Amino acid sequence: LRLDLWFIFIVFFLFAMSQIDVWGNWGEWGKCSRSCGGGVSFRQRRCYSQRTEGPSSCVGPARSYRSCNIQSCPEGSQDFRAEQCAEFDGTEFQGKKYKWLPYYGAPNKCELNCIPKGENFYYRHKEAVVDGTTCEPGKRDICVEGVCQAVGCDNMLESAKKEDKCLQCGGDGSTCYGVKGTFDVPSLPKGYNQIFIIPVGATSIRIKEVKPSRNFLAVKNVRGEYYLNGHWTIDFSRALQVASTVVHYDHGSEGDLAPELLHAQGPTTEPLIIELISQEPNPGVQYEYYLPVQGQASGYSWSYGSWSECSSECGGGFQTRLVFCTIDNEIYPDYMCRNKPQPDNNRTCGHQTCPQTKRWKTGEWGPCSATCGGGTQTRPVYCVAFDGQSSQGVVDNAECMAFAQQPRSSQPCNMRQCATWSTGPWSECSASCGEGVQTRTVTCRTQQGSQAQDFACLMEPKPSATQPCLKENCIQVIGWHVGDWGLCSKSCNSGIRTRQVVCADGDSKFYSPETCKAIQPQKPATLRSCNMQPCYLPQQVPSMQDTMGYDVTRQSLMLPGSSTIHDTSGNHHVPSTKDRGINLLPVRWESQSHSSGSHHLSFSQDLTAGTGSQDCHQSPHGCCPDGRTPASGPLGRGCPFSTCHRNRYGCCPDGVSAAQGPNNMGCPQYYRDIQVRGNQPTVPTPTVTLSQQHPSGECRSSMYGCCFDNIASASGPQGEGCLNRFERSRNLRNQGCAQPSDSPWAGLE
């Protein structure tokens, strides 16, 4: 019986053993998921079963994980989760292309959730991140197979080692001391209020409101630059790189009232100023952080801010940060820290090779097929391979279709209604004779005839709304035109003066004398007697010898044969060839016309003086002051200029000779004082200019003689203190001197 029982037991044991599954040996460790920063590798084993039905019954995991490549990544390396989001940069998402950044606010920390830069939504690109990706920034826990796993402070999976408050792995907290307190001032001014400063080197930082309120926490540096909630802009709950550590900010979900919370692992590399944005009474803000027991070296030390974003996500870039000298949380000039090594303020980053992606590329839109009424324009669309920095060439469109829909290559254009310019009839000419202008209306109209804005017709040139027109020539009045009388040929004892008389019309066009004689037979006189008085009396009409006498105002210039004639109205006329023989003299013309209207023409001309053999007394303008040279025009035009005014004693009364001493010593006696007795007939004295009077006894007896006006005394040699000739001439014209033709002693015609 005992043998039977033993046999039954053996059979049962063998049967039971045939129903138990067993593990095989572990395989080799696989490749590490990361090259640095703490990756994960795994190995597998197989469950062996003798059964043909039912699931395996092996107890324990089929995979075993371990940490690998736990060394820190080179400075400037891109965040590992950010690398995974960047793989989707440039791919079309809901019709747009985005730059994707990691998002940490989703419930499952090990999903690859990314947020488009500048947008307020996130998207799950993958169900699980790559093994070894940290669950949250600033923490050591990592994702393995989509599950967040604890990592010890030694960066090893399943390690029980933890950091103390001083951030010492496996430490007991004896190397630092805690700073704790509550800021509980209830009444604060509305807005930003500084409540305390987190110093350099602080670890295990935690700041939290005692209870929820409508107030907010803000963080800035000692330079006044805000890292969080600055300038009345409240951020979402997020993690941010500040002072070389990661600060986590949490103020609850939108719409929820939760206490403000800030926490960071540290250590900080620059002082952080904590502010409270007050909107209601402060319920209290608790703070806690730890500082090394040894403390930092006394005196000035270098502090530095957080690194900026890398200038390139891949293929090589650079980062910068601020480095400054501080003591007691205050900034000082850099030379105060010159005895200590200065930290770097820049570094390279983004060394990883850029992944090649496929994306659509579009060209410029071509011209529209129609200018109006609806047309079509096209553009090239092609698929290119992109390595993150530059295009690597065109590939088949099918490779881009897997990532995003192909952009459209055509679109409608110029949908506005067609329109054209419409013109009205020309108006009557604006002038009844001669040149004028005609006008017409020019409007933009659609094909249906309705008026449109002018810009609708800008594709074609706008017709002119004006044009010149020409009527029959206007009738011109032709008549004799006379000039002013010239200077007298003699100062006494019967002289002669002349004037010009020409045949012309109101447009200064000249005609032959026969033309005017047919209209007005009596031609005005060109000669007149003058200065008929005896020579011991003053002259009545300025003569050729008086170079300072009557000034003919010259208003314009016309030469016989010149191309232009100017009249007082500013008109221009080109004389015909047959009229160029008229001998014009320097006179001011006045019109004598048979018409009721009068025309005033103004001409002047410089003529060449006569030959040297000609008697100057017989010339039309008399002699120059030297008594020998004929003047070529009025006012002694063409006469040699006298330099007697430069003499020490000035000029003689003749205005030419130089005085040899005071009181006109050595001067010729051209003038004689005449006493008129009471029984002698009185001769009326004509109105004459100042220059026509005899020099006064006062200036003649002065040391430096008379000025050019023969009245004022010079105050020094060479006419010092005198008005020059041109100023005097201008003054005389302004005084309105009597014209020779207005004198009652002008003589007979």
Instruction: Please write the tens of the pLDDT for every residue from 694-742.
Output: 444 456 556 666 666 666 777 766 566 775 443 443 343 333 333 333 3
Please tell us whether the domain made up of 357-413 is placed in CATH 3.30.2010: no
CATH among 2.40.10.10, 2.60.120.830, 1.10.287.1080, 1.10.3660.10 for 176-349 = 2.60.120.830
Give the pLDDT confidence score for residue 151 in this predicted structure. 92
Neighbours of 519 (CB within 10 A): 15
Specify the DSSP class assigned to residue 157: B
Q: Are 411 and 365 in contact (CB under 8 A)?
A: yes
Give the pLDDT confidence score for residue 452 in this predicted structure. 86
Q: Are 690 and 551 in contact (CB under 8 A)?
A: no
Give the pLDDT confidence score for residue 264 in this predicted structure. 94
- What is the Cα–Cα distance from 692 to 686, expressed in whole angstroms? 11
Q: Are 195 and 274 in contact (CB under 8 A)?
A: yes
Q: Extract the runs of DSSP E, i.e. beta strands, from 333-380.
A: 346-349, 357-362, 375-378
pLDDT along the chain (749 residues), means of 10: 64 56 89 93 88 73 92 84 89 85 90 90 94 89 93 89 90 90 92 91 95 94 90 89 90 76 92 94 95 73 81 81 81 83 87 76 92 89 77 80 82 86 93 89 89 84 93 81 89 89 83 89 91 82 55 34 34 35 35 37 36 58 71 66 68 73 70 31 35 46 62 67 48 37 34
- DSSP H or E run through 245: strand 245-250
Buried b (16+ CB within 10 A) or exposed e, 403-431: bbeeeeeeeebbeeebbeeeeeeeeebee
Collapsed DSSP state (helix, strand, coil) of residue 641:
coil
What is the pTM assigned to this prediction?
A: 0.40
Give the pLDDT confidence score for residue 437 in this predicted structure. 94
- What is the Cα–Cα distance from 597 to 592, expressed in whole angstroms? 9
Specify the DSSP class assigned to residue 217: E
Q: Is 194 exposed, middle or buried (0-12, 13-18, 19+ CB in 10 A)?
A: exposed
Give the pLDDT confidence score for residue 126 in this predicted structure. 94
Neighbours of 367 (CB within 10 A): 11
Nearest to 199 by CA among 174, 225, 171, 222: 222
Give the pLDDT confidence score for residue 704 in this predicted structure. 62
- What is the Cα–Cα distance from 546 to 538, expressed in whole angstroms? 12
Which pairs with CB-CB distance under 8 Å and at least 24 residues apart come from 55-63?
Answer: 56/21, 57/20, 57/21, 58/21, 58/22, 58/23, 60/23
- What is the Cα–Cα distance from 686 to 642, expressed in whole angstroms? 29
Specify the DSSP class assigned to residue 82: H
- What is the Cα–Cα distance from 722 to 664, expressed in whole angstroms? 17
Nearest to 234 by CA among 277, 203, 200, 271: 277
Cis peptide, bond prior to residue 267, ω within 30 of zero? yes
Domain coordinates in residue numbering, the chain: 80-130, 176-349, 357-413
What six digits make up the tokens of 585? 């003299």
Give the pLDDT confidence score for residue 227 in this predicted structure. 93
- What is the Cα–Cα distance from 672 to 659, expressed in whole angstroms? 17
- What is the Cα–Cα distance from 153 to 192, expressed in whole angstroms? 38
Neighbours of 673 (CB within 10 A): 6
Which pairs with CB-CB distance under 8 Å and at least 24 residues apart come from 260-264?
Answer: 260/207, 260/208, 260/209, 260/215, 260/216, 260/217, 260/285, 261/206, 261/207, 261/208, 261/209, 262/205, 262/206, 262/207, 262/208, 262/217, 262/219, 263/205, 263/206, 263/207, 264/138, 264/205
Nearest to 321 by CA among 403, 393, 399, 243: 243
Give the pLDDT confidence score for residue 723 in this predicted structure. 58
Nearest to 264 by CA among 352, 370, 137: 137
- What is the Cα–Cα distance from 713 to 647, expressed in whole angstroms? 14
Give the pLDDT confidence score for residue 52 in this predicted structure. 64
Q: Are 644 and 627 in contact (CB under 8 A)?
A: no
